[in-house]
């Protein structure tokens, strides 16, 4: 079950602005740079993200109906800044919850399980 939409709105307008600079450098986070599929505007969205070889896995803490995911799926590619480095990625693919939980660090998986996060995507690294 995704986190509440009200929390998403609060995070988008308040928390994301505070955490964005750190998220691009901290482990377990990344900042997705993407363009609006209709507006063409540039956006930067902090995400829970982990690099695993030629993929980046992202927890869908707010579910599938989020603009950043729609934008990334509509685009040819995006950039995720992780550990202070830019990672060029392709279109994300939705993966099952059990597969996603198995692919994140165990402690994180427990927390996401408690939060009842039910979705993950995998971005191929280009």
Q: Hey, what CATH topology would domain 5-16+24-124 get?
A: Pnp Oxidase; Chain A (2.30.110)
Within 10 A of 89 (CB to CB), how many other CB atoms are there? 24
Please report, in tens digits, the pLDDT of each residue of the chain (126 residues total): 555 666 556 555 555 666 667 678 878 999 999 999 999 999 999 999 999 999 999 999 888 999 999 999 999 999 999 999 999 999 999 999 899 999 999 998 888 888 888 799 999 999
120 contacts 58 by C-beta, under 8 angstroms: yes
Q: Where are the domains of the chain?
A: 5-16+24-124
> Residue 67 contacts by C-beta under 8 Å, 6 or more apart in sequence?
36, 43
> Residue 46 contacts by C-beta under 8 Å, 6 or more apart in sequence?
16, 19, 20, 23, 29, 30, 31, 32
- Enter the pTM of the model: 0.84
């Amino acid at each position: 079950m995704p986190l509440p939409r009200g929390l998403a709105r609060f995070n988008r307008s308040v928390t994301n602005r505070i955490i964005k600079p750190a998220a691009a450098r901290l482990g377990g986070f990344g900042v997705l740079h993407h363009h609006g599929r209709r507006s063409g505007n540039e956006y930067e969205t902090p995400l829970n993200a982990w690099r695993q070889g030629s993929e980046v896995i992202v927890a869908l803490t707010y579910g599938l109906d989020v603009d950043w995911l729609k934008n990334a799926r509509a685009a040819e590619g995006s950039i995720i800044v992780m550990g202070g480095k830019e990672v060029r990625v392709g279109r994300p693919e939705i993966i099952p919850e059990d597969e996603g939980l198995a692919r994140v660090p165990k402690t994180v998986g427990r927390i996401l399980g408690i939060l009842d996060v039910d979705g993950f995507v995998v971005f191929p690294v280009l």
